[in-house]
Amino acid sequence: MDESGHTTGTVTLILDGDNLTPEQVQAVAYGRKLSLKIAPGALRRMRKSRAWVERLQESGTPIVYGINTGFGSKATVSISKAHLKALQHNLIRSHASGTGAPFPIEVVRAAMLLRAQTLVKGFSGVRVEVVETLLRMLERNVVPWIPSQGSLGASGDLAPLSHLALVMSRPPEDGETDWSGRAYWLDGATERWVLLSGKEAMERAGIPRVVLEAREGLALNNGTQISTALLTLAYQQARRLVKTADIAMSLSLEGLLGIGRAFREEIHQLRPYAGQLATARNIRKLIQGSRWVNIHPERVQDAYSLRCHPQVLAGVRDTLDYIRRILQVELNATTDNPIIVPELDEENKALSGGNFHAQPIAFAADFLSIILCEVGSIAERRIFRLSDRHLNQGLPSFLCKNGGLENGLMIAQYTAAALVAENRSLAHPASVDSIPTCENQEDHVSMAPVAARKAWQILENVQKIVAIELLFAAQAIDLRLQEMGKAQHPDAVLGTGTCAAYRKVREIVEPLTTDRPLYEDMEALTRLVAGGQLVTHVEKSVGELE
């Protein structure tokens, strides 16, 4: 990615329905130049299931949910052949009922890719042109404006996905009111996103909108793709964030003249969680060569926020591995209803089930919220320790020389504490809640999009907390260097990785020599954390972190 977070170069991807990865989702979500195609085998499967739907559309039998019946509690209402197209368009129009601030453009792009991926598996009975329209929208940078609230995570992300479908579809009859929603279009001349009506955005991109036929409206709005897109991108950023948390902790360890023996291999092999072992290896790699760690042999152990960092991050990293396993299934699953299985040796080749129910995604998103909450919580304890002259091994209060007259980093710690408190309230699981809907036909829902949105917010908060820790740790190191005289250089005393991190931080923000507003420093370091540039820079010195 470049410094703005966009994928550099052209992202080329052939969708086969089976092999999509979180890394590919991220590359497409943040890419500006895409080449997206459908694999030949997937095209064959799609055409086979579509042929059966078209025969049903023509004959009117058998009775299949959502093709020639109403939806939800109206599944017992039969729909005549003459109204099958209107049925699908009415579904999209009525269900585009979200509210709230719009999702980030990258989240919607990820959801568009995931919707295409589930449809190319060939069990949804849609025409190839429906998926190709989605892919052309991604390639030509048309992104539906989708409000972030209104989905229960079953029957899928109905409201937000209907906002997507509004943009790409048009009315069955000329002269009908054309509710095309809203969409962003990337102006190639200015490289800025412009918010237009869906119709105008598609026209500017030169993409014909489709008239939805039997099954296709339901195929577009019935699934977990919004929740899964949020979780996938949050997971990808969380993986990078835990590396950054290791870097920040190592800088704090240096600034506090901490004890490195707590990270020795002998300790962690006796409780060999994979995440614990990986974290300890990262810390050893980052502080290798340090002359400040272990400088006080009379101190036998540090506080938990330093000493127990590998044990806390053990659960974080191991839970991230679990979340990845969930995503690997969900990214390559058929998640709508009914599914069309042409190979069935019976007249009705449609099976009604509940693959749209996003409970696994809801659990995974809540787990992500919980573990990220703890990454921020333990980082804030180190920030507090650095700020307190009774705990920071001889440094001044709030890391400023003229305490009393000046306040130094005092309030930056307050900000970190406020973010931790907010995270704790957000981390209450959404997945344990359910509100029956649709005349009690849909009597248990997952709340996955709520869980995923909370995880996204906690992720952003923890990025800010870790940025604040970097601010404190770098300031502590500056004060130590000043104590040792002008001839002392960070390269001579810091570990290989921590020195690289310190120098990168100092490229972004200057040392604090007198009171100044800190919000710009905090914002700049948050961008450094969120964009991954700090991890990239440090890994050039020490090799890839785990």
**Can you tell me the distance from the alpha carbon of 477 to that of 512, in angstroms, rounded to the nearest whole number?**
12
Check residue 143 and report its DSSP letter.
Answer: E
Tell me what pLDDT residue 450 has: 96
For the entire predicted model, the pTM comes to 0.95
Range of the domain at 177: 7-223
- Which residue type, as a one-letter code, is found at position 86? A
Tell me what pLDDT residue 6 has: 67
User: pLDDT of 431-484, one tens digit each?
Assistant: 998 888 887 787 788 899 999 999 999 999 999 999 999 999 999 999 999 988
Tell me what pLDDT residue 352 has: 93
**Co-location of 205 and 324 in the same domain:** no
**Co-location of 101 and 206 in the same domain:** yes
**Co-location of 214 and 93 in the same domain:** yes
Report yes or no: 144 and 166 within 8 Å, Cβ to Cβ. yes
**Co-location of 391 and 484 in the same domain:** yes
**Co-location of 267 and 395 in the same domain:** yes
1 in a structural domain: no
User: pLDDT of 372-406, one tens digit each?
Assistant: 999 999 999 999 999 999 999 999 999 999 999 99
Please say which residue of 223, 254, 285 terminates a domain: 223
Q: Which of 139, 146, 128 is nearest to 28 (CA)?
A: 139
486 pLDDT higher than 70 = no
**Co-location of 236 and 219 in the same domain:** no
Tell me what pLDDT residue 70 has: 85
**Co-location of 373 and 498 in the same domain:** yes
CATH number of the domain within which 158 lies: 1.10.275.10
**Co-location of 299 and 154 in the same domain:** no
Residues carrying an active site annotation:
65
4 pLDDT higher than 70 = no
**Co-location of 245 and 131 in the same domain:** no
Question: Does 1 or 427 have the greater pLDDT score?
Answer: 427
Helix extents (H) in 264-338: 265-268, 274-287, 304-307, 309-330
2 in a structural domain: no
Q: Please give the C-alpha separations between residue 178 and each of 205, 305, 374, in angstroms, as whole numbers.
A: 18, 58, 48
Instruction: Please give the mean pLDDT across all residues of the chain.
Output: 95
Tell me what pLDDT residue 216 has: 95
Instruction: Work out the percent of the chain whose per-residue pLDDT is above 70.
Output: 98
Q: How many domains does one find in the chain? A: 2
Please say which residue of 195, 223, 251 terminates a domain: 223
388 in a structural domain: yes
Q: What is the mean pLDDT of residues 118-132?
A: 98
CA atoms within 13 A of residue 437's CA, in its CB half-sphere? 16
**Can you tell me the distance from the alpha carbon of 397 to that of 404, in angstroms, rounded to the nearest whole number?**
9
30 pLDDT higher than 90 = yes
234 pLDDT higher than 90 = yes
**Can you tell me the distance from the alpha carbon of 28 to that of 13, in angstroms, rounded to the nearest whole number?**
9
Please say which residue of 170, 205, 223 terminates a domain: 223
Provide, for the chain, the percentages of residues in helix, strand and coil under a 3-state DSSP scheme, each rounded to the nearest 5: 55, 10, 35
Q: Residues near 302 by Cβ (< 8 Å), separated by ≥ 6?
A: 253, 256, 258, 259, 262
168 pLDDT higher than 90 = yes
Q: What is the mean pLDDT of residues 486-496?
A: 84
Check residue 406 and report its DSSP letter.
Answer: B
CATH number of the domain within which 285 lies: 1.20.200.10
